[in-house]
């Protein structure tokens, strides 16, 4: 079986399983948690494009997620834009923001990028949280970006009135659809010209450069394209929880998402998805020990980076290599 | 005039604290090409250790500071043994150590949260009283911070310039291979540098917590600022970092006065971005040849 066929097969099986989940485990808790998983999986899959495929040390992905969410919420709240339009617009705004951040930091070398993107996210957080002036007084005093409490009451996808008791299942399928799109998109990027360009730049930088593959240009591209679905995920997150607030900038969340990528395997196609699923499950299973959550995440990240830098995807590759070698 | 004195006084204090935090980071980056994201957690660890040594173990404040520095130096050594050493042998050292130290930092910070609780604690190592210059009251605490920082900086400078170990550290950061060929035990140097940086982090953590308070997340903000200072100066340039720390400290105090606390960090960042667009390798950074 060729790798592409294998990927398609695994993908179809996953989607088929995911489609029946709400009918098997009808409980609201399971379905809602699965929806949240889809949202994080979208972010992680897109982040993997930047971090693993592009080799850019960006920590701005949650900032882009927040930009998408805030843009969606603010379009809905201030301009009364329907959510169906506002979410894609949020994605586009995230792309623009991604390109600006990219222009500001991609000329720099690896670690400089990480620090600058982290600092940008931090500044956004500080500016939003410390804003206490009233921008509108429609429903009580609210700063332009909602301040500490965030923005709410900006509209809905309409499922809540359509299926009053089962709206969360509708959201589940929307999120699943978005994840499928985002995932296919990421595979297309990895296997397409962008991914090939980065492979060339990694395998033989000198030759690639002399054939006219500009690292800067492609890095900017991958930064921009990965921002789109991240922003959309942010918009969907805002609509799903009916609020977007500064908690999306929290370090704990950033740690959680990095752990997903690292455990799954940076730069691989399936790794981030696998890592996201595993960590969500582990997080559920260890709810009682939530005090130790960050300690566990930190240890996990450190352990994986040191012992298995290619993550679980690396394990599977090794297994496959063993299997093909034994018969011959 | 009073305002100017006030700004200079608080700016110098800020700058001194940042400088001590930055030198550690800069040394580690310069000699190992390692961005230590656990540095902020080491600051926190130092602050809490000093507190614990003074209140729980009844140490004299000076020994509390020394104890904190020793604990953090050990923590730095542990980072070397358990993370840096195994990762140096594998490829992609820079990315991997970056991610690994994020994990280590999270572990240390959560441990502090578990053992000391989330509520702010005042740092017992503090002096009261103030000096009056013009019409401005300058707390003795600020002057003590300035003096401690000066002593720490002078000690580091002496170590780097005058001792055999310091010469080896400088040689390693100039060229790892050449230093190794000349018989420098690079592994030992790395261990020393990480321990030294841990100790400096502790001192800086104690100073920062003595004018603010001890909280488990107190390390994050100074670390980010220390990184920004490192970037402005050029990563790995120790003396440039000290200068940049003091300039940025003064600048922060000035923006806090003129625009308010809310904008100080944003202004700082904007400035840094402009500097980086103008000089991508920092003000004093050497342009590195891209290795293909």
| pLDDT computed for residue B289 by the predictor | 43
Within 8 A of A205 by CB-CB distance, chain B residues are 292
User: Which residue of chain A is at minimal alpha-carbon distance from B261?
Assistant: A130
Contact A182, A42 (CB under 8 A): yes
Q: A104, B235: Cβ pair inside 8 Å?
A: no
Torsion of CA A156, A158, A161, A162, to 10 degrees: -160
* pLDDT tops 90 at residue B75: yes
Q: B276, A291: Cβ pair inside 8 Å?
A: no
C-alpha to C-alpha distances, B10 to B43, B128, B232, nearest whole angstrom: 20, 16, 21
Helices and strands counted in chain A (H then E): 14, 2
DSSP label of B128: -
| pLDDT computed for residue A328 by the predictor | 47
Q: A305, B107: Cβ pair inside 8 Å?
A: no
Average pLDDT over residues B122-148: 79
Most A CBs within 10 Å, among B89, B92, B110, to test the A interface: B110
Q: B107, A255: Cβ pair inside 8 Å?
A: no
Min Cα distance B207 → chain A (Å) is 23
User: Which residue of chain A is at minimal alpha-carbon distance from B234?
Assistant: A112
User: Which residue of chain B is at minimal alpha-carbon distance from A258?
Assistant: B99
Q: Which of A196, A258, A243 minimizes the C-alpha distance to A72?
A: A243
Min Cα distance B127 → chain A (Å) is 31
* pLDDT tops 90 at residue B178: no
Within 8 A of B235 by CB-CB distance, chain A residues are 111-112
Per residue in B281-292, pLDDT (tens digit) is 777 766 554 443
ipTM: 0.79
A 207-266 residues with CB below 8 A of B? 209, 251, 255, 258-259, 262
Identify which has the larger pLDDT, B191 or B257.
B191
Identify which has the larger pLDDT, B255 or A25.
B255
Identify which has the larger pLDDT, B12 or A81.
B12
Contact A273, A41 (CB under 8 A): yes
* pLDDT tops 50 at residue B65: yes
Alpha carbon distance A31, A165 (integer Å): 13
Contacts A–B by Cβ distance under 8 A:
119
Alpha carbon distance B189, B161 (integer Å): 15
The predicted model scores a pTM of 0.82
* pLDDT tops 90 at residue B218: no
Per residue in B106-117, pLDDT (tens digit) is 899 888 888 888
Within 8 A of A301 by CB-CB distance, chain B residues are 99-100, 102-103, 106
pLDDT category of residue B78 using cuts at 50, 70 and 90: very high
Q: Give me the percent of chain B exceeding a pLDDT of 90.
A: 7
> CATH number of the domain at B2-278, please?
1.10.3470
Per residue in B79-105, pLDDT (tens digit) is 998 888 888 887 778 778 888 888 899
User: Which residue of chain A is at minimal alpha-carbon distance from B81?
Assistant: A306
Q: B266, A258: Cβ pair inside 8 Å?
A: no
Those residues with Cβ within 8 angstroms of residue A201's Cβ, 6 or more apart along the chain or in another chain: A208, A209, A213, A215, A218
Q: At what angle do helices A271-285 and A251-264 cross, to 10 degrees?
A: 120
Alpha carbon distance A35, A169 (integer Å): 9
Both tokens assigned to B56: 């729980």
* pLDDT tops 90 at residue B161: no
* pLDDT tops 80 at residue B54: yes
| pLDDT computed for residue B288 by the predictor | 52
Min Cα distance A147 → chain B (Å) is 13
Helices and strands counted in chain B (H then E): 12, 2
Contact A130, B260 (CB under 8 A): no
| A299 contacts chain B (CB < 8 A) | yes
Give residue limits of the domains in chain A. 15-249, 251-328
Q: A298, B83: Cβ pair inside 8 Å?
A: no
Q: Which of A50, A234, A77 minimizes the C-alpha distance to A153?
A: A77
Min Cα distance A225 → chain B (Å) is 22
Min Cα distance A296 → chain B (Å) is 8
User: Which residue of chain A is at minimal alpha-carbon distance from B85?
Assistant: A306
Average pLDDT over residues B128-145: 78
Alpha carbon distance B226, B24 (integer Å): 9
Rounded to the nearest integer, the mean pLDDT of chain B is 83
Min Cα distance B185 → chain A (Å) is 23
Contact B92, A305 (CB under 8 A): no
Residues of chain A where predicted confidence (pLDDT) is lower than 70: 1, 26, 109-110, 137-141, 325-328
Buried b (16+ CB within 10 A) or exposed e, B117-153: eeeebebbbbeeeeeeeeebebbebbbbbbebbeebb
């Amino acid at each position: 079986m060729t790798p592409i066929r294998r990927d398609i097969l695994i993908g179809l099986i996953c989607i088929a399983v995911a489609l029946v989940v709400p009918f098997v485990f009808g409980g609201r808790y399971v379905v809602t948690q699965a929806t949240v998983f889809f949202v994080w999986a979208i972010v992680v899959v897109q982040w993997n494009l930047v971090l693993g495929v592009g080799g850019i040390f960006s920590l701005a992905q949650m900032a882009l997620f927040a930009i998408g969410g805030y843009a969606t919420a603010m379009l809905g709240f201030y301009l009364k834009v329907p959510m169906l339009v506002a979410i894609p617009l949020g994605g586009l705004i995230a792309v623009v923001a991604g390109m600006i951040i990219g222009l500001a930091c991609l000329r720099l070398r690896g670690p400089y990028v990480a620090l600058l993107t982290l600092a940008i996210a931090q500044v956004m957080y500080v500016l939003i949280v410390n804003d206490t002036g009233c921008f509108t007084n429609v429903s009580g005093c609210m700063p332009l970006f909602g301040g500490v409490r965030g923005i709410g009451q900006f509209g809905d996808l309409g499922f809540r009135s359509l299926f009053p008791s089962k709206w969360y299942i509708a959201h589940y399928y929307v999120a699943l659809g978005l994840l499928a799109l985002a995932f296919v998109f990421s595979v297309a990027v990895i296997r397409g010209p962008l991914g090939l360009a980065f492979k060339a730049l990694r395998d033989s930088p000198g030759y690639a450069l002399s054939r006219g593959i500009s690292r800067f240009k492609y890095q900017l591209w991958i930064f921009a394209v990965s921002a789109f679905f991240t922003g959309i995920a942010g918009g969907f997150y805002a609509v799903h929880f009916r609020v977007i607030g500064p908690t999306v900038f929290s370090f704990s969340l950033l740690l959680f998402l990095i752990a997903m990528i690292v455990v799954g395997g940076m730069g691989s196609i399936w790794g981030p998805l696998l890592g996201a699923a595993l960590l969500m499950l582990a997080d559920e299973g260890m709810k009682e020990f939530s005090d130790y959550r960050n300690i566990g995440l930190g240890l996990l990240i450190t352990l994986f980076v040191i012992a298995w830098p290619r993550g679980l995807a690396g394990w599977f590759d090794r297994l496959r290599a063993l299997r093909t070698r034994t018969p011959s | 005039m009073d305002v100017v004195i006030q700004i200079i006084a608080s700016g110098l204090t800020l700058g001194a604290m940042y400088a001590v935090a930055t030198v550690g980071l800069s040394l580690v980056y310069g000699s190992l090409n390692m961005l230590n994201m656990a540095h902020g957690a080491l600051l926190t660890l130092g602050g809490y250790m000093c507190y614990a040594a003074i209140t729980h173990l009844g140490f004299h404040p000076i020994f509390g500071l020394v104890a904190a520095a020793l604990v953090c130096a050990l923590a730095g050594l542990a980072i070397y043994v358990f993370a840096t050493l195994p990762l140096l042998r594998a490829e992609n050292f820079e990315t991997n150590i970056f991610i690994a130290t994020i994990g280590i930092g999270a572990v240390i910070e959560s441990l502090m949260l578990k053992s000391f609780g989330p509520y702010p604690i005042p740092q017992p190592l503090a002096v009261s009283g103030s000096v009056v210059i013009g019409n401005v009251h300058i707390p003795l605490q600020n002057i003590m911070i300035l003096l401690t920082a000066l002593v720490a900086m002078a000690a580091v400078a002496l170590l780097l310039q005058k001792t055999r170990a310091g010469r080896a550290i400088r040689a390693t950061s100039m060229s790892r291979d050449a230093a190794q060929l000349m018989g420098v035990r690079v592994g030992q140097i790395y261990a020393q540098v990480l321990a030294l940086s841990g100790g400096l982090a502790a001192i800086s953590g104690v100073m920062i917590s003595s004018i603010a308070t001890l909280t488990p997340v107190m390390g994050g903000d100074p670390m980010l600022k220390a990184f920004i200072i490192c970037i402005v100066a050029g990563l790995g340039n120790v003396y440039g970092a000290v200068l940049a720390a003091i300039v940025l400290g003064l600048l922060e105090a000035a923006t806090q006065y003129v625009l308010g606390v809310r904008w100080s960090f944003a202004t700082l960042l904007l400035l840094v971005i402009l500097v980086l667009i103008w000089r991508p390798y920092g003000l004093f950074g050497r342009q590195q040849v891209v290795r293909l």
